[in-house]
Structure 1
Amino acid sequence: MADRGGLMLGRDARAGVGRVFSPLARTLVRLHITPDAITWVGTILTCGLAVALLVPGHFVLGALLITVVVLADSLDGLVARLTGTSSPWGAFLDSTLDRIADGVVLGALAVHFLAVAPRSELTIACGVLALAALVLGGAVSYAKARAESLSMTADVGLMERADRFVVILVGTLVTGLVGPWAMLVAMAVLVAGSAWTVAQRMGAVHRQGHRVPAAGERPAADIDPEGARA
């Protein structure tokens, strides 16, 4: 049975978050709240807060509230383990909705800097970099998923989802305190780190995809689920 991914925190951080949220998780179990419902609510809250607070520029409050919701992202996994309902479907739903939440947060920042904030070279650069980070973040996740669908692995990478979200939230918080230069730095780090991670994963798959198949082994391209290279 697959578990839900949630935010990819380090082992010590996951243990600490689990201890904090375990009492709430047990309460949700008693109330018969399902892990899927928790996943949906977390995504809806993240997206709603991003649109309501980040688009108009309430960065400090937005960053703090979204951080709370992101930390509570582990609740669905805790409830699933307590009820013995961890499943591949749960992991799939969690990862899919995470991608939506990531896109909405970065999209909200891009909208703010390109359409709401007073126009300047600085704000335009922040908005463009946020859009680039959105595209590259999707590519990071897709590279790993696509590799796994071809019976290969792409677990390498400088900047996974947890790292990207930390950069986004810290950058947003500091921007609210000191101004848009902080967002420019955060988005530049995010874009560079995501691009490097995509390159790392492409390199890993390239090395695996060019090895000589063992006798009787089916080449990975023959099992392409999308039929792109059957």
Structure 2
Amino acid sequence: MLNRHARGFFTGLFSPLARFLLRVGVSPDAVTVVGTAGVVLGALILYPLGQLWWGSLLIAVFALSDVVDGIMAREQGRSGPWGNFLDSTLDRLADGAIFVGVAIWFFTGGGNSAIAIASLACLVLGMVVSYARAKAESLGFYANVGIAERAERLISVLLVTGLTGLGLPPVVLLVTLVMLAAATAVTVVQRMAAVREQAMADVDGGTPA
């Protein structure tokens, strides 16, 4: 739901920038790569240094490239398998860097191993969510269901991590990550259940009378 409501707003906001980049010869793939690089550098350099606010701000800015490259591809009429593959693959890299960066800081200077462990749990479960959908679609099933999709996960962790850097009690970040991990685990189960239901329906439908 969040994705659908936000997409129209951000498309209108960033369409002029996307058209400008196309006019000066920048490709959608270049924006995807640069955006991911910015997220990874922000997460793996600023977060481990304890710069949670500035790290979150930088990551949020570069994460918007995910919107810009999509607009550019549509403007060019080039939305296709390669762009989708590149975008999805680099999204996994960016997501991993964010949660690893949080974990590094709280295992070291942050001095809160519970937050670090919760962050790594979010990382692992988030990867399973993405894999479950990809594997399901490769088998011809639909698995785009669940209560904790990527946008919700990222907005939650970036917002609360950034505010923690401004003085929000770390326990709020811990609770957020634990709830996020739980919601992500539920999403894994929901996707498995959805695929199982479709698979069983195919078996039943193909069984001779």
Q: What TM-score comes out, normalization by structure 1 length?
A: 0.85
Q: Which residue of 1 aligns with 2:78?
A: 85
Q: Deviations over 1:80-124 (max 9, x none)?
A: 111122111101100110000000110010111112323xxxx11
Moved over 3 A (4+): 213-217
**Contact 1:175–1:181 (CA<8 Å) still a contact in 2?**
no
Residues 50 and 116 of structure 1: CA distance in aligned 2, closer, same or farther (over 3 Å): same
Equivalent-residue separation in structure 2 for 1:130 and 1:112 (angstroms): 11
Q: Which of 189, 199, 203 lines up with 1:209 in the alignment?
A: 199
* Structure 2 partner of 1:39: 32
- 2:41 corresponding residue in structure 1: 48
Q: Which has the higher helix share?
A: 2
Given the alignment of the two structures, is residue 148 of structure 1 paired with residue 137 of structure 2, yes or no? Answer: yes
Checking the alignment, whether the CA contact within 8 Å between 2:14 and 2:68 is kept in structure 1 is yes
1:38 and 1:216 map into 2 onto residues whose CA distance is 49
Q: Distance in 2 between matches of 1:146 and 1:157?
A: 16
Deviation (angstroms), 1:72: 3.2
- Residues 3-41 of structure 1: per-residue CA shift (max 9 Å, x gap): xxxxx9533311111111111111101111111111000
Q: 2:7 aligns with which of 14, 19, 35?
A: 14
CA offset at residue 75 of structure 1?
A: 0.8
Partner Cα separation in structure 2 for residue 63 and residue 214 of structure 1: 49
Indicate if the aligned counterparts of 1:18 and 1:78 stay in contact, CA closer than 8 A.
yes
- CA shift, 1:174, in A, is 2.1
1:1-230 alignment to 2 at 5 Å? 9-118=2-111, 123-177=112-166, 178-211=168-201, 212-215=203-206
Q: What count of residue pairs does the alignment treat as equivalent?
A: 206
CA shift for structure 1 position 165: 0.4
* CA shift digits 1:119-143 (9 cap, x unpaired): xxxx110001111110000000111
The CA RMSD over aligned residues, in Å, is 1.7
| 1:151 Cα deviation from its structure 2 partner | 1.2
Write the letter of the residue equivalent to 2:132: A
Structure 2 portions without partners, runs of 5+: none
Identical counterparts, % of pairs: 46
Counterpart AA for 2:28: P
Instruction: Report if aligned partners of 1:54, 1:108 keep a CA contact under 8 Å in 2.
Output: yes
- Structure 1 unmatched ranges of 5 or more: 1-7, 218-230
After TM superposition, give the deviation of residue 213 of structure 1 in Å: 4.8
Aligned to 1:225: none
Q: Distance in 2 between matches of 1:188 and 1:114?
A: 16
